[in-house]
Amino acid sequence: MRMYDLILKKRNGQVLAEDEIGWMISQYTKGEIPDYQMSAMMMAIYFQGLTKKETIQLTMAMANSGDFLDLSSIPGIKVDKHSTGGVGDKTSLALTPIVAALGVPVAKMSGRGLGHTGGTIDKLESIPGFSTNLSEEDFMKQVKEIGVAIMAQTKDLAPADKKLYALRDVTATVDQMSLIASSIMSKKLAAGADAIVLDVKTGNGAFMKKEEDAKALAKEMIMIGKGAGRNMTAVISNMDEPLGYAVGNALEVKEAIDTLKGHGPQDFKELVYHLAAYMLLAAGKTDTREDALQKVQKCVKSGKALEKFREFISAQGGNPEVTEDTNLFPQASIVEEVFSKEEGYIAKIDTEEIGICSLMLGGGRETKDSIIDPSVGLILHKKVADFAKKGESLATIYGNDLKKVKQAKEHFYLCYHIEKEKTEKKSMIQNVLFS
């Protein structure tokens, strides 16, 4: 088999066979196929596309390029959740203890953030003493004992995807639907869950800006998951403004705790409760969404969800008292308000740029080697459709460097658009798709 022949075949719009895709991914992962040839293949795929069958075969080849996490020793249906990412997305922190308290085992491998926000691992590590560096044995043991564990990705899951994504990033071939879907799903399939609930964001703070593109991506991922024998659900959710009010690692954990106490922002609660309900449905714990939502609400109201979160923190070496005393979190030394310069309704928020404000303060990573400051970030006081008086606080900025705080404050003013007329607020759940 020659890579030249496969490039020519795809360039001419022909369908690649399963053994050809498997050989190509295997050889590229081993370093036997040079980047320049794989770049040509990615460009050929970009223009010619992949059939459904090719997309599934490519995903499975990437998933099989490294280790698989075997969750079979954990009783019950294992349900994983994946978000396509956004600003203020601390969903896993509140979601996992709720579903674990309701009897759905959560064995989750998560990543660190690169870019304007921290990842789930960065947020959890803002809890004093919390460790995400678990051995696979301890990880499995913890899920069996308390129903939930989240660890930093240590296994070599889908190494082909890591190589391919780095290549696509520098060859202008990232935004091809089949390649995006196979990249996400190769890692999810290798992580071993029986069912997967996807949170696909859409809006100005999401990777997919348009709802039709988010829906197309969701359909592609559902098709892949179904082809691999997984139960799939995709929720299309709004990212035209930050999720909740908190943006920044420790600040987001505090908001998740508040939500587990039954408080928290309405938009965040709505998303968490619905994702939890669909995870319960996928695990066979109930037959209807309405019943699942009732179970979720009761779990939070009874305090069981918060208790599970405390148990989870304690099991991974953290101090569970953070749930009662938020002063135990890392604290910023500078706290400044951002006051509105005019009166009117918040018509639009440039969500991604709010994430950049947090990055400027040190809440994200500009490079893989950047060190995150867990104490910095923003708490928003006004969201889309809210009314702001002149001189009223739009947000509170938390920082540890006066120059950075000043830069973030100046940047923040560019993110908020105030109009005289009230804008209609988008609903959080835009659509739900099933396999």
Residues annotated as catalytic are 82, 161, 168, 183, 187
| Spatial CB neighbours of 58, under 8 Å, sequence gap ≥ 6 | 21, 25, 50, 178, 182
Can you spell out the DSSP letters for 293-306? Answer: HHHHHHHHHTTHHH
CA-based nearest residue to 227, from 257, 274, 185, 187: 185
Angle between helices 35-48 and 18-30 (to 10 degrees): 140
Q: Is 349 helix (H, G, I), strand (E, B) or coil?
A: strand
Q: Residue 109: beta bridge partners?
A: 151
Within 13 Å, how many C-alpha atoms sit on residue 414's CB side? 11
C-alpha angle 415-421-427 in degrees, rounded to nearest 5:
70
| Calpha distance 137→78 (Å, rounded) | 17
Q: Residue 247: beta bridge partners?
A: 378
Instruction: Using CA atoms of 398, 401, 402, 408 in order, give the dihedral in degrees to the nearest 10.
Output: -60
C-alpha angle 266-268-270 in degrees, rounded to nearest 5:
65
CA-based nearest residue to 98, from 294, 357, 365: 294
Q: Which two tokens stand for residue 332?
A: 């910023």
| Spatial CB neighbours of 235, under 8 Å, sequence gap ≥ 6 | 197, 198, 199, 200, 271, 274, 275, 278, 429, 431, 432
| Calpha distance 146→135 (Å, rounded) | 16
Within 13 Å, how many C-alpha atoms sit on residue 101's CB side? 26
